Amino acid sequence: MQNGLDIHRNSGPKVHFESVIKNFRRHGDTCKLISLQPGRKIVEYSSKTLKFEYKPLGLSGQKWFVLVEGIVRKLQTISKLPFLGIFDGYRFCEACQLYLADYDVFYERYSVMGFGGARAAKKMNKPLILEVHADIINFETPLHGEKLSKFQHFVAERITDYCFSNARKIVVISNAVRRRLENYWKVPPEKIEVVPLGVDIDLFKRALERLDSGSSLESQKLLSKTILFTGSFLSWHGVDVLINGFRRVVDQYPNVKLMLIGDGPTRTDMEEKVKQLALQDRVEFAGDVPHEEIPLFLQKADICVAPYKKLSSEMWFSSLKLFEYMYMEKAIVASNAGQISKILQHGYSGLLVEPDDPIDLADAILELLLDPEKAKMMGKNAKKQVVNGYTWEDHCSKIKQIMLQFC
């Protein structure tokens, strides 16, 4: 269950749920995703079909209900009254009741104002396991440039309290999120389980098998070196720091290019920065790439980067791209922050640099460019680490053990 997932966008949440459902399906478990889409439509994704299908609703799909909802929303806009997600919560609750009655456990990814799943689980007497990636209200929403009014913030916190208290277990993706839930939200420690994200080994194996023996690839690498970034163009992902650092790299190692995969609100600014630094012929913006094609891009890269910025609080997220870099045996340069510094071993499986420091980032990249044997050794060590605990198979195995406590 996920409130607000955009199925048309190549994003971390989409990769996450598809990987989880695929792994459960492999082991004979039946799963179904119910998600409220932009435009207030309900979509279903089943482990039986692996396809998205829009589903009809009951009361909340009636014309009169939609008409009343539209009038209320328009009055809210005119009167500048805060939106509280009441209609969306009701709609999601109804969808869960209609389409999840035969399932044993509800597993939901926490969202702001998203009370529908918790409400449905309570009404249907189903155990709810809530997955929390961040304190969205206080940390992630402001990072996206969004601002809740004082009243919205108050209501959002009450809804969050309701969801946390009704969940049988809360799964978090890092120890930073665990600490936040314990210290700020007062969630009992025994209610929280830390389960990091992972890499889809099957997807990456299949991609590698499709590649040629490597002769043509090696000839390309002789011509130039490639630094690769994958992810969203969001302010805290540090693409601006990377581009500033890359200028220094090019000045000292001209035979190199930078490939940026992804999209987001800061992309236009990053394109302008590339022009200002006269790097147009060295930087390629590849845009959004289907996840199944990511391994092919990674295979062509010499160094992969995760230049996250320093945040106002402890970095809480679990980086999907880091695990994928590691599995592909890539030399990695990443910010020394949060879960990254607990996974990568500096000098063994990657190089850790100070966040927001383009010079430190550039010097680490140059170190690996100038010592390809060290880069190769670090890549091999990284793969050894990731296959022992950071795969989707590992992730789903832990989730299933939690679920079995309530079945």
DSSP type of residue 137: I
- pLDDT 10s digits, 313-324: 776 777 889 999
Q: Is 384 helix (H, G, I), strand (E, B) or coil?
A: helix
Contact residues for 372 (Cβ-Cβ < 8 A; gap 6+): 302
User: Are 292 and 19 contacting, i.e. CB atoms less than 8 angstroms apart?
Assistant: no
30 vs 177: CA distance, rounded Å: 29
Q: Which residue in 334, 25, 23 sits closest to 197, CA to CA? A: 23
Contact residues for 285 (Cβ-Cβ < 8 A; gap 6+): 260, 267, 270, 271
Q: Mean pLDDT check: name the lowest of 179-193, 198-212, 240-254, 292-306.
A: 198-212
Half-sphere exposure of residue 130, counting CA atoms within 13 Å on the CB side?
Answer: 29
**In sequence order, which ranges of 129-278 are alpha helices (DSSP H)?**
141-143, 150-166, 175-183, 201-210, 215-223, 239-252, 267-276
208 vs 214: CA distance, rounded Å: 10
Amino acid at the residue 135: D
What is the sign, positive or negative, of the torsion defined by CA atoms of 383, 386, 392, 393?
Answer: positive
Contact residues for 59 (Cβ-Cβ < 8 A; gap 6+): 65, 94
225 vs 248: CA distance, rounded Å: 15
384 vs 382: CA distance, rounded Å: 5
Strand pairing partners for 40? Answer: none
State residue 220's pLDDT score: 46
193 vs 181: CA distance, rounded Å: 11
Q: Which residue in 391, 301, 380, 303 sits closest to 348, CA to CA? A: 380
User: Are 239 and 270 contacting, i.e. CB atoms less than 8 angstroms apart?
Assistant: yes
More confident residue, 361 or 48: 361
- pLDDT 10s digits, 184-218: 999 999 999 999 999 988 888 887 777 654 544 44
Tokens of 227: 């630094």
pLDDT value at 7 more than 70: no
State residue 1's pLDDT score: 60
- pLDDT 10s digits, 47-61: 677 788 899 999 999
Q: Mean pLDDT check: name the lowest of 104-108, 139-143, 369-373.
A: 139-143
More confident residue, 212 or 386: 386
44 vs 40: CA distance, rounded Å: 13
Share of the chain above pLDDT 70, in %: 92
273 vs 263: CA distance, rounded Å: 15
Domains defined for the chain, CATH in brackets: 2-198+392-404 (3.40.50.2000), 201-386 (3.40.50.2000)
Q: Which residue in 325, 303, 327, 313 sits closest to 375, CA to CA? A: 303
- pLDDT 10s digits, 26-46: 888 888 899 988 778 898 887
Tokens of 282: 């060295």
**In sequence order, which ranges of 262-314 are alpha helices (DSSP H)?**
267-276, 294-300
Q: Kindly write down the DSSP assignment for every residue of 341-373, as one continuous string.
A: HHHS-BTTTBEEE-TT-HHHHHHHHHHHHH-HH
94 vs 98: CA distance, rounded Å: 6
Tokens of 102: 């035969």
| Torsion angles phi and psi, residue 119, rounded to 5 | -65, -45
Burial string for 355-368 (b: 16+ CB within 10 Å, else e) reads bebbebbbbbbbeb
pLDDT band of residue 222 (cuts 50, 70, 90) is very low
pLDDT (average), residues 74-98: 91
221 vs 261: CA distance, rounded Å: 19
